[in-house]
Structures are given as C-alpha cells and as structure tokens.
Amino acid sequence: MIVYAIRRINQAIPVLFAITLLAFLAFYFNPADPVVMLAGEQATPEMQQRIRQNLGLDQPVHVQYLMFVGRVLRGDLGTSYRSRQPVSSHMLPAFRATLLFISVSILFMVLIGLPAGILSATHPHSPLDNVVMAGVLLGLSAPIFWIVIILIYIFALRLGLFPSTGFYSWKSVILPALTMGMHYGAIIARVTRTSMLDVLNDDYIRTAHAKGLARRNVFYRHALKNAAIPIVTTIGLQIGSMLGGTILIETVFAWPGVGRMLVKAIVERDAPIVQGGVVLIASAVVVLNIVTDWLYAYLNPKVRLGSR
C-alpha cells in the first residue's frame, strides 16, 4: 500500500508542474501590463523599469517561470495589483471560508445521496424507488441556479430560517451547502443504487440469505461494503467538481470564498490573485484525486497489486 501511495504521489508531481505552467502562461500573456498597474499611469519610464527589474519581468520567459515555481514552492503567490498586499493574505481567509462551505456541502451530499440510493436499491421497482428516482432525476436535470432560487425563496424569503447572502453565523452556510449537496447528492444516489443492485444479484448475497442471516446484516455488512468502491470513487470525483462549482454558488450567495474572490479578481484584472486561486484550487483537486485513489486501492487490493 505504501509503494502504491508513493507511486501515485510521483505521478501527481508532473501534473502539479503543468498546473503552475498554465497559471504562469495565463499571467504572462495577460494584456494588462503589471508594471503600469503597480506603478500607475503617471509613473516615469525609470520607475517602471525599476519595478520591472524588481519583479524579474525583464528576464526571459523560462527564467520567469522558474522564479514563479520557486515562489510557489516557498508559499509565495505574489502581490495583488489592487491592494498591494501578498496574495496569500487574501487567499487564506477565502480558502478557509471555501473549506467550510465544501465540508458542509459534502456532509449534505452524503446524507442525501447514500440513504436515498440504499433505500431505492433495497426496494427496487416499488413506489418508494419511483419517488427516489424522480427526485434524483430532478436533482440531476435542474440547473443549480434554479435550485438556488427555490431554496432562497422558501427558506430565506418565506420562512426566514436562513440568511440568503453573506457570512454572519453558522446559519449562513446552510443554503449554499444545501444547494451544492442536493445537486451532487443526486449523483451519489444514482451510483449507490446501481452499485447496490449489482451486488445484491451476486451469488454470495443469495447464499447469505439462504443461511438465514438477517436482511439488515446482508444489506449493510455485506452488500454495502462490496458496493462501496464505485461510491467512494464517485464521491471523490464530485468533491473535485464541487471546488470548480464554488464560483457560481459563492457569487450568488456572496460567500467570501475563493470562487467569489476569483470572479472579483477577473473583473479587476488582478492577475496574481487569479493565478494564485487557480494554483490553489487545481492543487486541491489533485490531492483529492490522490486520496480517492488511496481509498479505492484500500477497498480493492486488486488495484494496488495490478499496479506493481
């Protein structure tokens, strides 16, 4: 298992370097001159040249890239054009807010998706199964912005249970996280149902029933454990998708996370903020994929044995 984990980390290193390269090229080919934005349009050519030298922008492109990678490895994501503050001072509070939002969204996704999928699989072709699958179809087909409007109207405007925007208390995270959890929970429910139905038709499940084992034990101790591999894989992939989907949700709910910060930075053409956000989110997705692969290999030894 340790050898497999080390191999997956080694495979992720080129991906991380590719991420830094794409982020750097987006910064390098940005039409806005960073020197003008930092020094101001009234700055003299001598001042602009001095700033260019201090930033290393007078160096060849490959030298600038190596300098950028070196800064990233040291945790230095550059300086914001607008605030003149380190990008990390903006990124860390925003990342903590996004981490809270994503964590609660994952909780809702699992609490919605797993029970719905299990109930549907244990009562196939029943009225309960039809109701659950109708809800899954609605969650998959309905645009996220439509779910946002419905939840805000019901829980914020009509019932007044939760705030519709901002970050004021623990209640503020409920609606954004529930929006994300409902959408991705529908995916988990469908995968759980399909995986459980495949396992329930296997011979060892029929043997367990024939031995007189309790129906509950057969479902949860045998069927669910063996059906967990595609479920775990899907959950890991959906968490990565959540990180990309935070831009829309955080913007709509005015949530002070990385997604909303990136939108603001794009509008203001603050390239270092955009660059740092892309590196941070993409790196988080890579790490999540590695963790998912580890869990997959732990649940299915054939994966790590086949990779030797």
Q: How far apart are CA 210 and CA 56, in angstroms?
A: 74
pLDDT band at 3 (very low <50, low <70, confident <90, very high): low
Nearest to 107 by CA among 155, 60, 173: 173
CA distance 303 to 291: 14
Give the pLDDT confidence score for residue 300 in this predicted structure. 62
DSSP 105-164: HHHHHHHHHHHHHHHHHHSTTSHHHHHHHHHHHHHHHS-HHHHHHHHIIIIIIIS--S-S
- DSSP per-residue codes, the chain: -HHHHHHHHHHHHHHHHHHHHHHHHHHHT-SS-HHHHHH-TT--HHHHHHHHHHHTTTS-HHHHHHHHHHHHHTT---B-TTT-SBHHHHHHHHHHHHHHHHHHHHHHHHHHHHHHHHHHHHSTTSHHHHHHHHHHHHHHHS-HHHHHHHHIIIIIIIS--S-SSS-SSGGGGHHHHHHHHHHHHHHHHHHHHHHHHHHHTSHHHHHHHHTT--HHHIIIIIIHHHHHHHHHHHHHHHHHHHHHHHHHHHHHTT--SHHHHHHHHHHHT-HHHHHHHHHHHHHHHHHHHHHHHHHHHHH-HHHHHHT-
Pair of tokens at residue 270: 């603050």
What is the radius of gyration, based on Cα positions, of the chain?
A: 24
> Is pLDDT at 4 greater than 80 in this prediction?
no
Region 235-261 average pLDDT: 82
Residue 10 has pLDDT above 60, yes or no: yes
When pLDDT is cut at 50, 70 and 90, the band that residue 49 belongs to is confident
Residue 299: per-residue pLDDT: 65
Asked whether the predicted pLDDT for residue 127 surpasses 70, the reply is yes
Q: Where are the domains of the chain?
A: 2-73, 94-268
Indicate if the pLDDT at residue 115 is higher than 50.
yes
Which CATH fold would you assign to the domain 94-268?
Answer: MetI-like fold (1.10.3720)
The reported pTM is 0.77
- The tokens describing 261, both together, are 């910060």
Closest CA relative to residue 276, chosen from 23, 22, 34:
23
| Percent of the chain with pLDDT strictly greater than 90 | 1
Confidence of residue 143 (pLDDT cuts 50, 70, 90): confident
Stronger pLDDT, 159 or 224, i.e. the higher one? 159
pLDDT attached to residue 31: 65
What is the pLDDT, as a whole number, of residue 305? 47
Contact 177, 107 (CB under 8 A): yes
Q: Is 273 exposed, middle or buried (0-12, 13-18, 19+ CB in 10 A)?
A: buried
Q: What's the pLDDT tens digit per position in 253-281?
A: 888 888 888 888 887 777 788 888 888 88
d(Cα 210, Cα 306) in Å, to the nearest integer? Answer: 34
Share the mean pLDDT of the chain.
79
Other Cβ atoms closer than 10 A to 186:
25
* C-alpha span between 239 and 99 (Å, rounded): 11
pLDDT band at 252 (very low <50, low <70, confident <90, very high): confident
User: Two tokens at 80?
Assistant: 């914001």
Percent of the chain with pLDDT over 70: 85
Query: Tens of pLDDT along 172-227?
Result: 888 888 888 888 888 899 888 888 888 777 777 777 767 766 666 677 666 777 77
